[in-house]
Structure 1
């Protein structure tokens, strides 16, 4: 039986707790949150104990995994404390607000020989896994142009930390980093970034960015992220990949999210639309199940710590492009 301690009783902490609780080989031993009431409420649902600090959790509980579901500014200190205690670590994205912290976290976990995975959950969405398989299979030919869109209302966090761009990095670092990671997984390293954004435009609780990525492979991707929707608007995410043989569309707002348009040879009938319907499966449970299996079998997670660093590098280049108004080369740390 693996024992886990969850840091954070907010939205992601609750989501991860549901997933851990669904796994018979895992026991939630403790919840850490500075809001004692929130921590106790979540802990009570799983017959766990509530603590106000990671130090108290580590002192009183024997845990194998520390799961960090805290705001980004608190990632580094808690990763260091968990690694020092030789605990394997699952940490919510982004790994850090800046590259120096991200690199130091990776180095510390390597020194302490603990597993360290960043929760880039898009890699565990069945729809996106199938999309990657279609791309890799060559069904749509050589990929050329990609568009992604991800939109929601402005997030509500403790002390409104999302509203402080110096802490959260806004929609670029906090939300569309999902797409940066997924696209890098599909198409390789990003060479250059150019961004148009509403950042620093004086708009309260609205953020928007359109980021153009140029990959070393030649693929061009347009990544759109919006925190401009009214509260209560359903989350929207979409992927479109155009290749030399066809077009793949994935829209998670549709009951049948896949559509593939294949080019026909000259003289043939019009292109055929092929709907693809994936099996419904919770991506957060897939993600956590994967990490738990890696801990049990002492194998490396499919998402390496360096993948988390690379995603931050792309996001930071996008933020730098906002400041300068110019295309920015992606720094490789």
Structure 2
């Protein structure tokens, strides 16, 4: 497997995964400037280029990994498939629903495999909660809330309300859409000012009185890193999580179950969700697994994210 990795921002996290993957023979990284490419070449030994066309023209590259700014996702995801490549697109899938559906249509027409980096679906804690919701392990779901708090850990990148919703809340909103579908109502508030960063919160209602809350803040000091958690309240129990992390992604997560029988930490396997996505992509390309992260499966979560962003911006 030879991979073309587009982007030197969050592409660094993907590069680290590829470097540790024995199934990846070679990686070529595209970036706009040699200065941004040099650290990737030095750290991982990857080939680098500032010639984007050369990446698409390389007949040995089978997978294009799109880690470019969000407005460029659709064009490059479609271009990759039309060039006969399979493609992994970083979150969010596209900047508009029209572009997202264009990607879905391109996959249908070309017959290529396309994947969205919905890494939250591969976190063992989230998998446990999604299964509990689907199977009614603790009875019907009553409320579900998530919160992400982060410093501005990425050089030159400010999480204003638009980007806060798309880059920080989107993964959680996708989990809600995956488990519960589209909500009956969406209410959202946000706060930003002359200072850097922002904060936002969304309340979603679902049939049967289920209430879902999603909150995010990018107002933390650098020393804080990244953290947060979730709480799913069922008729017969509660699942509560807490996580910490940093610029390279999630670090440690714990899950605790509360029932009438007492408190029980739930032991789950340690897994890097980012690496799990790429392992899944490679397994799908080898015909060993069926994709859990198709562009079509991302549409409901993306639409919900756009709905939340619109309401936050209306009331900010």
Q: What is the CA–CA distance in structure 2 between the aligned matches of 1:225 and 1:307, rounded to whole Å?
A: 24
Cα distance, 1:231 vs structure 2 = 1.7
| Residue 171 (structure 2) pairs with residue 178 (structure 1) | yes
| Residue 281 (structure 2) pairs with residue 291 (structure 1) | yes
Q: What is the CA–CA distance in structure 2 between the aligned matches of 1:279 and 1:75, rounded to whole Å?
A: 32
Give the 3 Å change call, closer, same or farther, for CA 164–210 of structure 1 in structure 2. Answer: closer
Match of 2:8 in 1: 9
What is the DSSP-based 3-state SS (H/G/I as helix, E as strand, rest coil) of the residue aligned with 1:202?
coil
Question: Which is greater in Rg?
Answer: 1
Q: What is the CA–CA distance in structure 2 between the aligned matches of 1:44 and 1:156, rounded to whole Å?
A: 20
> Which deviations, in whole Å up to 9, do the C-alpha atoms of 1:139-184 show, x marking residues without a partner?
32100111100110135355x4x4576xxx2211111101011122
> Which deviations, in whole Å up to 9, do the C-alpha atoms of 1:74-96 show, x marking residues without a partner?
21221122111111111110111
Cα distance, 1:137 vs structure 2 = 4.0
Alignment check: 8 A CA contact 1:28 1:46 kept: no
Q: What is the CA–CA distance in structure 1 between the aligned matches of 2:280 and 2:252, rounded to whole Å?
A: 26
> Which deviations, in whole Å up to 9, do the C-alpha atoms of 1:210-249 show, x marking residues without a partner?
1011235652200001111112312112110111111110
Match of 1:258 in 2: 255
Q: What is the CA–CA distance in structure 1 between the aligned matches of 2:288 and 2:34, rounded to whole Å?
A: 34
The structure 1 residue matched to 2:100, chosen from 83, 102, 105, is 102
Q: What is the CA–CA distance in structure 2 between the aligned matches of 1:196 and 1:163, rounded to whole Å?
A: 15
The structure 2 residue matched to 1:222, chosen from 205, 213, 220, is 213
Cα RMSD over matched residues? 2.3
Gap runs ≥5 in structure 1: 264-270, 327-333
Please, what TM-score do these two structures have when normalized by structure 1?
A: 0.85
| Residue 118 (structure 2) pairs with residue 127 (structure 1) | no
Give the 3 Å change call, closer, same or farther, for CA 208–31 of structure 1 in structure 2. Answer: same
What is the DSSP-based 3-state SS (H/G/I as helix, E as strand, rest coil) of the residue aligned with 2:71?
helix
The structure 1 residue matched to 2:237, chosen from 246, 258, 263, is 246
What is the DSSP-based 3-state SS (H/G/I as helix, E as strand, rest coil) of the residue aligned with 1:75?
helix
| Residue 219 (structure 2) pairs with residue 233 (structure 1) | no
| Residue 76 (structure 2) pairs with residue 85 (structure 1) | no
Q: What is the CA–CA distance in structure 2 between the aligned matches of 1:188 and 1:39, rounded to whole Å?
A: 41
Q: What is the CA–CA distance in structure 1 between the aligned matches of 2:159 and 2:298, rounded to whole Å?
A: 23
What is the DSSP-based 3-state SS (H/G/I as helix, E as strand, rest coil) of the residue aligned with 1:297?
coil
Alignment check: 8 A CA contact 1:82 1:89 kept: yes
Q: What is the CA–CA distance in structure 2 between the aligned matches of 1:144 and 1:218, rounded to whole Å?
A: 7
- Across the two proteins, how many residue pairs are aligned to each other? 310
Give the 3 Å change call, closer, same or farther, for CA 256–3 of structure 1 in structure 2. Answer: closer
Alignment check: 8 A CA contact 1:248 1:259 kept: yes
Alignment check: 8 A CA contact 2:81 2:112 kept: yes
> Which deviations, in whole Å up to 9, do the C-alpha atoms of 1:270-297 show, x marking residues without a partner?
x511111222121111110001110111
Match of 1:57 in 2: 55
Please, what TM-score do these two structures have when normalized by structure 2?
A: 0.90
Alignment check: 8 A CA contact 2:160 2:198 kept: no
What is the DSSP-based 3-state SS (H/G/I as helix, E as strand, rest coil) of the residue aligned with 2:222?
coil
Gap runs ≥5 in structure 2: 245-250
What is the DSSP-based 3-state SS (H/G/I as helix, E as strand, rest coil) of the residue aligned with 1:232?
helix
What is the DSSP-based 3-state SS (H/G/I as helix, E as strand, rest coil) of the residue aligned with 1:223?
strand
